[in-house]
Amino acid sequence: MDEETPAGWGASIYSWLDDQGDYTNTVQIIRDLNYTNVLGKTGSKTLFVADDAAFGRFYANNTWGVRSYKDLTESQKKMLLFGNMLDNSMQLNSLSSVEGPIEGECMRRFASNSPYDSIMVLDSEHMPDNRYWKPYREAGKIVCMGDNSTVPLIHFVEKMLEMKRITNDDYNFLYNHTTDRKPGDASVNGVQVEQPNIKCSNGFIHRMAEVVTPLPNMAEIIARKENVSQFNSLLERFCAPYWVGEEMNVRYNDMYGTSDSLFQKRFFSQKSQKGENLNLTPANTPVSGQLLFDPEWNAYYAGNNDLGGNVAMERDMAVMMVPSNKAMDEYWNTGAGRVLKDYYGSWDNVPDNVVAKLINNNMLTSFISSVPSKFEDILNDANDPMGVTVESVDSVWLGCNGAVYLTDCVYSPTAYVSVSFPALINETMNILNWGIEQLQYNVYLNSLNSYYSFFLPTNHAMLEYIDPCSYGKNKTQLYRFHYDPTKPESDRVWAGIFNYDIETGEVLDSIGRASTDQVKNRLNDILNTHIVIGNVEDGKTYYRTKGGTEIRVNNVAAGVGGMTVEGSYQINEGRPLVVADIYDQTEKGNGKTYILDGAPIMGTRHTVRDVLASQEEYSAFLDLLDGTGLIEQIHLNRNACGGDNISTFNTYHYTVYVPTNESIRALQQQGKLPTWEQVEAWEEAGLTAEKTRDSLAIVDFVKYHLQDNALFIGATAESGDYETALINPETGRFHRLTSKLDENGIVIRDEAGNTRHVLISNERLYNRMAREYQYDGIDKTQAGRIETTSSAVVHLIDQPLLIKN
């Protein structure tokens, strides 16, 4: 077939173009690039071609500065030929199919062009202005390719638009309403297909209305537009020139007869070439901020590439919402960016990790999900509706890896107005900021649908964290957290572990460093105990944290330097924490941030049993509890406990009602509640049934005094029917108590109809806090991480709670 074309086979792509007489520009390009034999013989190619009339219009108006055929460089000729060629024979409708075949899934395909086709020599004026490019700016030039990946073609055909639910109005919006799309219309890189499916012996020709040129990527589009220069200056903080490597460099020099060093422009991003994380500078040092994705990456794809090959790239691309310079000025001076101006004074002073929040909020990972008919579903960095409207988008620029929406406003990240903002902007709090990011508390804390009181320990405070995992060990241990900006992002926070004298506060010998997993485990516990949903300045004293523990807040009116907060550790040890500063984010944000500089809020080492053993007034109930078997050292043969834990507790908060010693003894004397001495007597007498009956009666009595939901006197009033730890065998449900908490105390009504009261004459006997820990493994002396915790409050009540009188 290389020597003789079979009868009826038809003209080749090259001969058909040559025979028509009005494709002389394309034919000459084919000849100049020595591609006549390939397109003149059998094979498998698809070509998107413009006639000479279209080339005439191209020469009259183009961004390349080309006014005639003789002005075209070899690189430009390659872009016009190979950038409009597919290495497959494809009819128009089949362009929407991916491997399978699956129709309607494909919107982009790699053309036959090469990354070497568009290499540029950049002078100083056209290089980004940051420290990574500074040596090359000073040298005056750099040989650079935009991205080491092929530039894909974008094609919109009916089946794909239909499958992806992109309407004709969406399409017209994307092309700035210069089109009036009708069903069946198709375009490639924004150019209408006028005559599709011209069948040749070695493929298909699709005649285009105009000359099709390769689309730049989003980063290059933004860099070339003067009216978005302010946003671009922020964006290009995150890019650097990377050497392409020996193999590519040698190949380039062999191709062009040069001896240059070849670089590519890349952006520090969570998703860059091949879907990989780019978090190191060209000098292999950690970056100080990352974008969601690399806008220079031609082959960008959303999600994972688990589908294999180029399928993920073919199905979608990205969107960047880029504000005009006017919008940026308004944002900085009078809009939500004013908080940055007030704090930093100029954009140059705003750190990269803070700037990255702004840019990332305006980076949308899916083009398919970001067309106007789906604007209401676009979410911000807090997963709340962003509020994008058609009216806010001035125009659209389509790139090979996504669309750039020019906006007349700035979509500010909620991180700038949330209670986590002080941690983001203040380097003295970057340990907790790292924890917020790594553990994804940023989405939670950025929600504007809630009001938060966020207690934020400084780095100094994080030197005084008593490790709850050491509560089960012979020696108490202290974590001292540190932040190291020279490490990769995932390892920047580390902690040294020291033995610690809890009585004197003396830090003893070092025993090593915590693992990254241990660091994150403790930070997770810290964050859970420092976030309150609600306002801690509403006149109450006790507030429940996100983790279900309770904290005590006092002296609110005293404000900075006088207001105090205590966790169960601080309460039990008498060490209140003074609020060192307050950030008020209530006007446009979601609450207040209270800075702690002395130590973080911490949980007590005291279990419920420890609390009961601390006061003689609890002794009768403690005697009953000790014989029930409800005290455990290992939970479910899986997790070691930090002390004598109550086995019915399970990652929640509870109230323990303790009847007075006198009331318990009176009940026993009346024969309504057995004693453990009576149980032992039954056992000695060999009366198993009686022993079982009485021992179960005691266990049931104790369980009925363990209530789900911690009620603190001094907290927000609440009431309800709360489950106890005792199951009703007849119904299979837990027996309940009706408890009412108000400003006067707590009143409990049991199932027997009795009303009981929490005794509040002695502050040592109510609102007593306990916390019970479970660790990894069954040996608490080797515990490395907190698996779960439960918290409880202990109250002395006037009479026992009964199911039946």
* Residue written as token pair 């020696």: 475
Task: Give the integer Cα–Cα distance in Å for 440 and 135.
Answer: 37
- Ramachandran angles phi, psi of 551, nearest 5°: -120, 160
Distance of CA 348 to the CA centre of its chain: 26
Cβ–Cβ under 8 Å, residues 452 and 591? yes
Task: Give the integer Cα–Cα distance in Å for 295 and 300.
Answer: 8
Cβ–Cβ under 8 Å, residues 155 and 186? yes
* Burial of 401 from C-beta contacts in 10 A (0-12 / 13-18 / 19+): buried
To which H or E segment does residue 725 belong?
A: strand 718-728
* Residue written as token pair 């002080």: 422
Q: Within 13 Å and on the Cβ side, how many CA atoms surround 704? A: 22
Give all strands of the β-sheet with 85-86 in edge-to-edge order: 85-86, 45-49, 203-208, 191-200, 187-188, 152-156, 108-110
* Number of neighbouring beta carbons within 10 Å of residue 347: 16
Cβ–Cβ under 8 Å, residues 237 and 78? no
pLDDT at 256: 86
Q: Profile the chain (805 residues) by mean pLDDT over runs of 10 residues.
A: 51 95 97 94 90 97 94 93 94 90 92 85 93 95 88 95 96 96 95 96 96 96 97 98 94 90 96 92 94 96 64 92 97 90 93 95 96 95 90 97 97 93 94 96 92 98 97 95 93 97 92 97 98 97 97 97 97 95 91 97 97 98 97 95 96 97 97 96 94 97 98 97 96 97 96 98 97 96 96 98 95
* Number of neighbouring beta carbons within 10 Å of residue 190: 17
Both tokens assigned to 571: 């309460």
Task: Give the integer Cα–Cα distance in Å for 21 and 28.
Answer: 12
Task: Give the integer Cα–Cα distance in Å for 94 and 580.
Answer: 66
Both tokens assigned to 147: 């991205």
Task: Give the integer Cα–Cα distance in Å for 196 and 199.
Answer: 9
Of 404, 383, 382, 386, nearest in space to 395 by CA: 404
* Residue written as token pair 């949903």: 533
* Number of neighbouring beta carbons within 10 Å of residue 180: 10
Of 535, 587, 23, nearest in space to 339 by CA: 587
pLDDT at 120: 85
Cβ–Cβ under 8 Å, residues 210 and 202? no
The residues, ordered by sequence, that sit 6+ positions from 194 with a Cβ below 8 Å of its Cβ are 207, 208, 209
Both tokens assigned to 581: 């500063």
Look up residue 341 and give its DSSP letter.
H
Give all strands of the β-sheet with 477-483 in edge-to-edge order: 465-466, 477-483, 493-501, 506-513
Cβ–Cβ under 8 Å, residues 528 and 515? no
Task: Give the integer Cα–Cα distance in Å for 622 and 658.
Answer: 9
The CATH number that domain 421-596 falls under is 2.30.180
Task: Give the integer Cα–Cα distance in Å for 755 and 739.
Answer: 10
Both tokens assigned to 656: 């323990």
Cβ–Cβ under 8 Å, residues 408 and 389? no
Of 447, 385, 379, nearest in space to 417 by CA: 447
Both tokens assigned to 49: 């071609």
CA distances from 316 to 176, 311, 397, 507 (A): 20, 9, 16, 56
Task: Give the integer Cα–Cα distance in Å for 244 and 300.
Answer: 18
CA distances from 53 to 19, 21, 78, 195 (A): 16, 12, 20, 15
- Ramachandran angles phi, psi of 511, nearest 5°: -120, 15
Of 355, 358, 354, 344, nearest in space to 412 by CA: 358
CA distances from 746 to 355, 435, 525 (A): 50, 38, 29
Q: Is the dihedral of CA 453, 458, 464, 469 positive or negative?
A: positive
pLDDT at 4: 52
Q: Name residue 45's amino acid.
A: K
Q: What is the CA radius of gyration of the chain?
A: 35
The CATH number that domain 608-797 falls under is 2.30.180.10
pLDDT at 305: 56
Task: Give the integer Cα–Cα distance in Å for 788 and 771.
Answer: 11
Beta strands in 729-797 (DSSP E): 733-742, 745-749, 755-757, 768-775, 786-797
* Number of neighbouring beta carbons within 10 Å of residue 662: 12
Look up residue 278 and give its DSSP letter.
B
Task: Give the integer Cα–Cα distance in Å for 178 and 804.
Answer: 81
Domain(s) labelled CATH 2.30.180.10 in the chain stretch across 1-113+150-160+173-214, 608-797
Task: Give the integer Cα–Cα distance in Å for 383 and 386.
Answer: 8
329, β-bridge pairs: none
Both tokens assigned to 242: 């990377």
Which CATH code, of 3.20.20.140, 3.90.1170.20, 2.30.180.10, 2.70.150.10, is assigned to 1-113+150-160+173-214? Answer: 2.30.180.10
To which H or E segment does residue 121 belong?
A: strand 120-123
Both tokens assigned to 320: 């960047």
Look up residue 113 and give its DSSP letter.
-
* Residue written as token pair 């000695």: 684
Q: How many residues are listed for the chain in this entry? A: 805
Distance of CA 632 to the CA centre of its chain: 38
Of 70, 113, 320, 74, nearest in space to 214 by CA: 113
Cβ–Cβ under 8 Å, residues 198 and 205? yes
Task: Give the integer Cα–Cα distance in Å for 117 and 593.
Answer: 54
657, β-bridge pairs: 795
Both tokens assigned to 607: 């279990």
Omega before 457 cis (within 30°)? no
Cβ–Cβ under 8 Å, residues 428 and 463? no
Give the pTM: 0.84
With vertex at residue 538, the alpha carbon angle to CA 536 and CA 539, rounded to the nearest 5 degrees, is 105
- Ramachandran angles phi, psi of 593, nearest 5°: -115, 130
Task: Give the integer Cα–Cα distance in Å for 323 and 394.
Answer: 9
Look up residue 460 and give its DSSP letter.
T
Cβ–Cβ under 8 Å, residues 215 and 398? yes
Task: Give the integer Cα–Cα distance in Å for 41 and 561.
Answer: 85
